[in-house]
Amino acid sequence: MTQVTHSCNVSPVLFIGIDWADQAHDCYIIDSQGNGRHQTFKQTPEAIDRWVGQMLELSGGKPIAIMLEQSKGPLVYALMFHPELLLYPINPKQFARYRESYPGGDAKSDPSDARYIARMLRERISTLKPWIADDEATRGLANLSEQRRKIVNGQVIQRQQLTAHLKSYFPLLLELFGQSNRLGLLLKMVGRWSDPRKLRRADRQLVDRVLRENGIRNQAQREALIERIRSSKLLTSVILRLKRYQLTVWERVGAWWCCLTYLSSVVDPVCALVLFGAFSEFPKR
């Protein structure tokens, strides 16, 4: 869902270009007469609120057009709740081409960038449409989806690193449990027996129980796996090397479990709740 502000039908009286940064933002303000000035404000809620108050006082409460090189982030989120502010995100490549059209415009500097952004906004305001924010549920779902994507990508990296280390000293586990449908079992086995010597000596009933509780229901299959484990040979018997691999594998397994736990217990349930809340107005069958 989107929310259109009442200011969209009124011409803005200020045109502001913002060159944003992590700690502070440079801006250039052009009034309806074409007069301009440079200003800087910090990236804190208090500083942003003060700056917005100053701009609204300067505009007499009338609409203000703001152009900046982003459509999300803390600055956008802080500005989007003011109905008098019309936000115009600009593609960085599009702005770079505009800046280069001016003599000396290829030399980047923050104050100059803010001035060029404000000029571009004022010159092209009639051809642009202000950015309209999604509702809170949609924004929340988008943020969670982006966070989930990053976590899943991190899992891929963790899996690749874990696989590389297991190949170096414990390839048996990859041979037996490296299939995609047994990744949970692989993590359980590595987490409990990261030392191949201890796995070979492990209690048969304990190993059988772990296999059974993690999806291997067939008793004959479990017994075959246990025999394969007990008859395996060590790839390396150097204790220091084993300890080094163990520490690294523990770290990878711990990181992977954290990702899995966070996805299953936090991100996915919250996504489900957001979706349920967003569509709860639909009639139930």
In this prediction, residue 111 has a pLDDT band, given cuts at 50, 70 and 90, of low
Per-domain boundaries in the chain: 6-133, 138-278
Q: Got the DSSP string for 205-259?
A: HHHHHHHHHTT---HHHHHHHHHHHHT---S---HHHHHHHHHHHHHHHHHHHHH
Residues with Cβ within 8 Å of 13's Cβ and at least 6 positions away in sequence, in order, are 31, 32, 59, 60, 62, 63, 64
In this prediction, residue 15 has a pLDDT band, given cuts at 50, 70 and 90, of very high
Most confident of 165-179, 216-230, 244-258: 216-230
pTM (two decimals): 0.49
In this structure, which CATH number among 3.40.50.80, 3.30.360.10, 3.90.550.10, 3.30.420.10 belongs to the domain 6-133?
A: 3.30.420.10
pLDDT exceeds cutoff 60 at 58: yes
| Cα gap 75→48, rounded to integer Å | 8
Residue 121 — φ and ψ, nearest 5°?
-65, -45
| Cα gap 117→67, rounded to integer Å | 7
pLDDT exceeds cutoff 50 at 100: yes
Q: Is 72 left (phi over 0), alpha (psi -120 to 50) or beta?
A: beta
Which of 270, 279, 27 has its CA nearest to residue 143? 270
pLDDT exceeds cutoff 50 at 9: yes
